[in-house]
Structure 1
Amino acid sequence: MLELDNVSTGYDDVQVLWDVSLRVEVGELVSLLGNNGAGKTTTLGAIMGILPLFGGDVRFRGESITEVSVQDRSGLGLTIAPEDDAVFPDMTVKGNLRVSAYGVDKEERRRRLERVYDLFPRLQERTGQYADTLSGGERQMLNIGSALMRDPDMLLIDEPSLGLAPMLADDILSEIENISNQGMTVLLVEQNVNKALSISDRAYVMEKGQIRLEGRAKDLMNDEKVRESYLGI
């Protein structure tokens, strides 16, 4: 579904990625792992068109989207739940979710809302509560739920467990696994390596702006040399 072919990019004249190639097939949950500064979030920026490419190509469903705008990429079915949550703090949970489906007819919006509430019952419990009163874990649920309200074919999720207590982090990642099990294609950027590998089909390991390793998640998790050299576990 998604393919990066020798993608290089960065910020202004500072290059961060060098010849990054990866793929995500329909229905897969693929993790992109690595330490802080490895280039994971930059890779998502390149996929969404937030950063211009210095070289290479991004393809979605077999077609190049390198020249497609950020807004139009979302229209193609590619959506991101960013690391810095995109919720509106002075709106209710329901208001945040509804505005994410702006322009959608009432019945379809209701269907999407029910789906999000089924995935995140806590959000339904907090439906009339303002977003700035939610806990960190609840805000992250709302962040992902808002992305799902756009009814994407593929969801990019950036560091969903960042700053959360271990139990909450596990809950969020388990919900992402549930989303994947329902058929959503997911590319997950995550620092909780053990949990990310346990829910993923495949994984890529980044280091200093390059892909250093790739393989089935179970194989990476069980390879002692890989764990010590690249994953720090």
Structure 2
Amino acid sequence: MVLKSFVLTIAIMVLVTSMSYASNSIPLQDFCVAINDPNNSHVSMNGKFCKNPKDVTADDFFISGLNIAANTSNQFGSVITAVYVDSLPGLNTLGLAFSRIDYGPYGLNPPHINPRASEILVVHEGTLYVGFVLSNSGPNMKNKLFTKILHPGDVFVFPIGLIHFQFNMGKTRAVAFAGFSSQNPGLIFNANALFGSHPLLNDGILAKAFQVNKKIVDYLQSQSWSDNVRLP
């Protein structure tokens, strides 16, 4: 009986390990250009249909417009120009995405999470104050804040799934470029998700979580919680 249990345990471990590798496997084809038309597709990969390779052109791997500054006159004073698989179909299955971030004077890319990707940021212009907050990872590291002031040419990494932000410290605009380890990194603005959810979260729950009066929560929920993302 003990031997059978041991063999079963080993079998389960092998199965789980093989499944974990399968979920992050290396593509078995050169590319899988995303297409939304299933009638003109070759195969479906990771939620996106693959364009027939015979119909693929260089334009499927090309996009322009990241040289154009975005209008940052919004509530955050920043704009993310996102190059994800939906705007660059050739990214499909490659595990990559990219963005340009424009910041007006004292503009903020507010605290947010990329649930499916780590991010590497390089500053092109201006001075940014950036940082991220750890999870509950031990008694001496719980919610520890890591911050840095970045100048042109500086690079900073935000680990996957952690709350992070960027703030333009200067009176002039700033520009940064970011790469992601997923074709669809996802984006959750913390304030938007909590105070601008659909339908709204119970204000009593939020009041207790933030240890504030419900009137403050009601005020925050009454605000306009838009994002700062656009496609090129």
Structure (1 or 2) with the larger CA radius of gyration: 2
Q: What is the TM-score with the length of structure 2 in the denominator? A: 0.25
**Larger RCO, structures 1/2 (Cα 8 Å, 6+ apart):** 1
Bigger helix share:
1
